[in-house]
Amino acid sequence: MEGSANQRLDFGKMGYGCKHYRRRCKIRAPCCNEIFPCRHCHNEAMVNRSTLSNVRDRHELCRHDVRQVICLICDTEQQVAQVCTNCGVNMGEYFCEICKFYDDNTAKEQFHCDDCGICRVGGRENFFHCKRCGSCYSVGLNNNHLCVENSMRHHCPICYEYLFDSLKDTRVMKCGHTMHSECFHEMRKHNQYACPICSKSVIDMTGIWRKIDEEIQATIMPEDYRYKKVWILCNDCNDTTEVFFHIVGQKCSHCHSYNTRTIAPPVIPQ
């Protein structure tokens, strides 16, 4: 390949790759010895194969285990490195030797987080690592979120995709639990405002509680139920109180939330 060193390094940049990444190499999966554009392509292929063949051979590729890559410019298989040993091109403008990760689209502002053990996107200066939650969060959440131990090392409660290394944006809710941002918005579109994990309200519900107050005032209960009392547990503050029953809803006497549920009365020791 003729030209200057920089021209050789940049040859084919952004012209190769898959739907997940733009890169100038493929990887050989050490788990099955097959070649794929990236680990996500490998994992998707395993899911499709196990579904079509009804065989339980599904497995995922660990990024750190990759040892061999194939240059897409000259088709040379070689050990993991940023520059092809044969034709001298950058197989990825961004390269992480720890994650065996290549990407030509540096507009993502990739960076490697040692505490996470994987590469993130969005610019190192825009994120901090919360050791209790076990993941990188936007700097806007630094000292401004409720910590839940290893909250990102779980599956999204809506779509059940593993959150920690998901390619989709994630959202930290008021309760500290996490889910995909698109799943969060889809949940709200269906008028669901409680965390699927802990049942706490995920947004400020003050306006909605005010409307329920108005509806209760406008809805008179029949005489037989007007003075009936029930015990409730508030999902938002965890307080247990006895309140008047109403068909529209039961309001927490402590935090004034309607995110409550009826429970059996507490047993008072004699």
Each domain of the chain, given as residue ranges in start order, spans 1-108, 111-203, 206-263
- Whether 206-263 and 111-203 are alike in CATH topology: the answer is no
* pLDDT score, position 19: 95
* pLDDT score, position 122: 94
Closest listed residue to residue 102, CA positions, set 3, 33, 16, 11: 16
Q: Which of 51-55, 103-107, 190-194, 209-213 has the lowest mean pLDDT?
A: 51-55
Q: Is residue 27 over pLDDT 70?
A: yes
Q: What is the mean pLDDT of residues 120-143?
A: 94
- For residue 175, what are the contacts with CB-CB under 8 A and spacing of at least 6? 146, 148, 195, 197, 198, 200, 202
Using left for φ > 0, alpha for ψ between -120 and 50, and beta otherwise, residue 239 falls in beta
Q: What is the mean pLDDT of residues 260-267?
A: 76
Q: Is residue 55 over pLDDT 60?
A: no
Of the chain, the percentage scoring pLDDT greater than 90 comes to 83
* pLDDT score, position 136: 95
CATH of 206-263, picked from 3.10.20.740, 2.20.28.10, 2.40.50.40, 3.40.50.620, is: 2.20.28.10
Rounded to 5 degrees, φ, ψ at 262 are: -75, 135
Closest listed residue to residue 80, CA positions, set 63, 97, 61, 57: 97
Integer Cα distance of 52 and 56 in angstroms? 11
Q: What is the mean pLDDT of residues 101-112?
A: 97
Integer Cα distance of 26 and 36 in angstroms? 6
Q: What topology does CATH give the domain 111-203?
A: Herpes Virus-1 (3.30.40)
More confident residue, 58 or 269: 58
DSSP 201-229: BSS--HHHHHHHHHHHHHSPPPTTTTT-E
Closest listed residue to residue 158, CA positions, set 175, 148, 170, 145: 170
